[in-house]
Amino acid sequence: MPKITVDGREIEVAADTMLLPALIEAGIHVPHYCWHPKLSIDGSCRMCQVEVEGSPKLVIACNTPVRDGMVVRTDTPRVANARRGVMELLLVNHPIDCPICDKAGECLLQDYSYSFGTRFTRTEEPRRKLEKRKEIGPRMILDQERCILCRRCVRFCREITKTNELGVFNMGDRSVLDVLPDAPLANDYSMNTADICPVGALETKDFHHKLRVWFLKKTPSICPSCSNGCNITIQHYRNQIWRLMPRRNDAVNDTWMCDHGRLQYAFAHDTNRLRLPMVRRGEQLVASTWEDAVAEASRILRDGVKRSGPERVALLASPHLTNEELFRLAQLADVLQLRHVDTPVVVGQGDDFLIQPEKAANIAGARELGLVPRNGGRDAAGILELARQGSLDVLYVCGSDIARIFDEAVWKAALRAVPQLIVQDLFLEPIAALATVALPSLSWAEKTGTFTNRKRRVQQIHRALAPVEGQWSDGEIFTRMLAHLSEGRWEFEPAAVFEEITRKYPAYTGLSFAGLGLQGKTLAGAEV
C-alpha cells in the first residue's frame, strides 16, 4: 500500500485510488461538491484543491491519483485562499434563500460558506434570475438559481439510471440545469438526485417545505417494500415519519433507493390503524383487553386442533414480520403440528437494478425459518381453496397481503366460509373486519429485529416510532400464545430470540444480533 504524507502525518492508502477518497477514508476532511463515491469524476467545482509537493499549481484531489511518497498539504494559506475564491464564485449569483430552502441544515454550500468562505459579498449587481420551483417530474422540483452546476444529478441520470433526463444547457455564465421539455425526470430512482444535490437545487415534492431538517431524528433501518433490503434511515419527529433516506451499503444498494420504497411510509403513522384487540360477539367486533383476546385466539387454535386435528387448521404468515417474530410463529405452528402453512407474498414489477418483484422485505427469512407448506401441506392458494370448500375450521392470517394477491371474490369467499378466523394486521379493513379475533400488528418502524434479503443477507431494523402504550408487538403475541399452548417459559426479546435462531439453524452459526452491525451479514452458503 502506498504511503503518503498529509499535513505532516504519514498515512497508508489503498493503491490505484484518487487522493480525495483516500483522504476521506483516512478521516481527513477536504471540502468537495462535484465528487461522489458512486459517480464518475467531473472535476468541475474546484473545491477540493490541495498542494502537492513538486506540483507548481494546486491540484484537485478528486482527480489526482495517489503515488507512493506523495507529500500533500490541505491546510496552507494558499489552499484556504483557493477555497475562498471558489466559494465567492459559487455565491456570486446564489439567491441565499436558506430560510425557505429544504436543504438548509444539511447544505454543503451553507456549511462550507461558514467554514471556508467570507462573511461578506464584494458585488452589488443584481443576481441572476432563473426558474424557481420548476416541476421537472412527478416527484421532483428544480430551483435553477440555487444550482452550482456540479453535475452530480446529470451523471446520476447518465450513469446509474441511464435515462439522461437532466443536462446543463447553454454556456459560460448562462449555463443552467434543466430537463428537455418532453422528457421529465420521471425515472424510478429520480428522488436520489435530491440526496446527492449538495445544495437545495433539487428537492422532492414529498418533503418540500414540510419540516426543518434539524428537527429530524435518524434511525437506521431497512426499506420494507421489496426483497432487496435497501439500507435506509428512517427520519422522524414527534412519532411521525417525515422521510426515508438511503443509507450506504455497498453490498446491497450502494447509496441509492427507489422512489416507490422511499414513499411507502405513511401507513406507519396512519391514524386509522387498528390499535385495540377485538373479539367477535355475535355480529359485532368489540374491543377487548390484550390478555383476553390472545387467550381467546389461543383457545380457538387449541380447540380446533383438538377437535378435528391439525388438518383443519391453517396458518398464513406475513413476509413483513421480522425473523425473530417468524421464528416464534414457526414454533407455534410446530406446537400445533400444522401442515397447511405458507407465507404469501405480493409479486409485481422488478428491474435489473434494485427493485425486486417480491414486494416484502422478509420473504427470504420466512422461507428460511420454515413458514412454508410442511409434509405435503397446502400453499396459500390451496389453503384458501380448503377454506372455501368448508374443509378448514380455523384460519390464522397474519397481514393482509392475500387481499392484494388474490381476487377479492376468492379471498372473501374463503374467509367467510371459515368458522373461526384469527387476523393479525395493521388495519381493520379489508380482512380483520371479518375476523373472530382481530389482533393489531406493529409496523416495521415500531420494532427492532432482523430481515433477511433475497441474497440471504441478515440486516437489523430498529424501532423509530413508539407504539401506542400497552400495544403488544407481533413477537409478544406469538410468545404469549405459545405460553397458552405449551409448557415452558416463553419470552420475546429480539436479540435473545436471534440467539435461539443461531442455535437452531446452521446457516446462522457464528452470527450474533450485535455483530450484524449497521451493514448486516450474509448467511453461510449464500450466493453473494
Where along the sequence are the contacts to ligand FES (CB under 6 A)? 32-35, 43-48, 60, 62
| Contact predicate 194/177, CB 8 Å | no
Identify how many contiguous H helices and E strands the chain contains and give both numbers: 14, 23
Between 52 and 360, name the residue whose CB sits nearer to ligand FES.
52
What letter represents residue 224's amino acid? P
Min separation Cβ 55 and ligand FES, Å: 15
Min separation Cβ 149 and ligand FES, Å: 11
| Contact predicate 365/408, CB 8 Å | no
Between 11 and 48, name the residue whose CB sits nearer to ligand FES.
48
Of 368, 380, 293, 294, residue with least CA distance to 326: 368
Percentages (nearest 5) of helix, strand, coil residues in the chain: 30, 20, 50
Min separation Cβ 211 and ligand FES, Å: 30
Between 32 and 302, name the residue whose CB sits nearer to ligand FES.
32
State the cell numbers at 220: 437506521
State the cell numbers at 57: 499549481
Min separation Cβ 363 and ligand FES, Å: 41
Min separation Cβ 62 and ligand FES, Å: 3
Burial status of residue 528 (CB atoms within 10 A of its CB: 0-12, 13-18, 19 or more): exposed
Between 60 and 422, name the residue whose CB sits nearer to ligand FES.
60
| Contact predicate 141/133, CB 8 Å | yes
Min separation Cβ 453 and ligand FES, Å: 33
Min separation Cβ 36 and ligand FES, Å: 9
Min separation Cβ 451 and ligand FES, Å: 35
Of 8, 45, 110, residue with least CA distance to 20: 45
| Contact predicate 69/150, CB 8 Å | no
Between 44 and 391, name the residue whose CB sits nearer to ligand FES.
44
Between 48 and 403, name the residue whose CB sits nearer to ligand FES.
48
**3-state SS, residue 329:** helix
Between 34 and 177, name the residue whose CB sits nearer to ligand FES.
34
State the cell numbers at 145: 438559481
Between 40 and 289, name the residue whose CB sits nearer to ligand FES.
40
Cα separations in angstroms, 393 against 343, 382, 387: 19, 15, 8
What letter represents residue 53's amino acid? E
State the cell numbers at 279: 373479539
